[in-house]
A and B are shown apart, each in its own frame.
Chain A
């Protein structure tokens, strides 16, 4: 900004400077235009989701490029939440098949919440041990944790599936949650970076007062790191909410007791009749599935942005 206006204030030949000034201004306008174009490209699909979900599926074909919902109705949402009768659903182009959307929604909430609490808590404990305590093999174990990031998840999923099968945990919450409950290398790494920066003096003062490590951790470290821990919790919740592959593997297509929303959406699409899918209903469902993330983003957007920038730096 200042850099760009600099040459104009330098007293060189006046005329070329002015010409350059104008060129710079045009350049800046063009640059802004490009940036806003990308913002538009980013936001448009979200709008289109909303527009389609509020349309009457039967009437979509009549005006495919209408900017506003076609024959506006809440029918799509009613079908998703099972509020529409069979006749109503079929009249608007739905299949009328009952989907237990509330159940999938509840399952997703449970899975994401349990994983978030467990993973963040246990990872914080581990991060504290890596950042603050001295023990033999510490750096080697930490290195081992980090190399785990290099192994493609599908490779680990195969034996983990075998394990869950042998333990009889297929189609259970435990089967979905367990592999993510205790740690992920990223979570440990992320928190360790913050714990390294907590002042040692406070800790030593507490120790002189006779506080043991657990007390220091729970009463001092955790409260002092509330901000990064909250950030990690938000990221973990979003990631668990969005996870598709592992819940797909450990749940049976014929048993939907613990099916999560992402898996249900994948099936929802493949189960719709060929030729005339219920686009309005599908978009209503995807929007509801995206809603918690959108809400989290509305509340904590800046924090999420900063944490990703931070992970880019380290």
Chain B
């Protein structure tokens, strides 16, 4: 194997890693920190993707002069819409099911079914795709023989930005402090004067908003359809569980490992067998490390 091939292989894995990480980071907050099983997470991604699509349609119709900015605006719109939907979902449904995780799972599955049908009726059953902005077309060649598509490079940058944003939000902001204290000790945090119900709502909304950003990024590499969410939900959960549910760093490491393995396995195997092999490997790994790669040592 030549150096070029190896490098492009690593880049492929890196690009898969960023997609997985973007998908999983929202789920890591919702599932990892809050313990809520949101089966509609995939559909929230699809919602973000559709919002990006809508933004690009609106820009091309009314603001063709600044078409280049449509994708960046699309990401913001996607975040805000899905976060608002998450806030609504938390208030109406999730809030009443915190003590019953299995029931949450079923109820959010119902939400995902309804969202799928809404997408199908509003946007049609056929996949839609967002035209790539002109400044993201083409490829970057750091050395001859190695072409890195700009769109993928942008996703990597976006992932880094999101990771940094999440880090700053959780560890350097007032809200992050409240979130961490509620997740660590709900009763104490409440006694210290933190409105735990509001913290729950905000945390859930942020997790959902990140799903929207992931969906936005997804439009650059794949078209969006009503069933898009279903394709990614298992991957997202597996990444979070493999990484260790209480650790955001674990989520990134596990996304990195799964992404690299996937791109490696796709050479000898067919696409579906590669995916099956990885899922199986992760399950076996979980058997030996039930609480994931990075687990906080606690007495249970």
Q: Do A and B make up one complex?
A: no
Residues of B within 8 A of A (CB): none
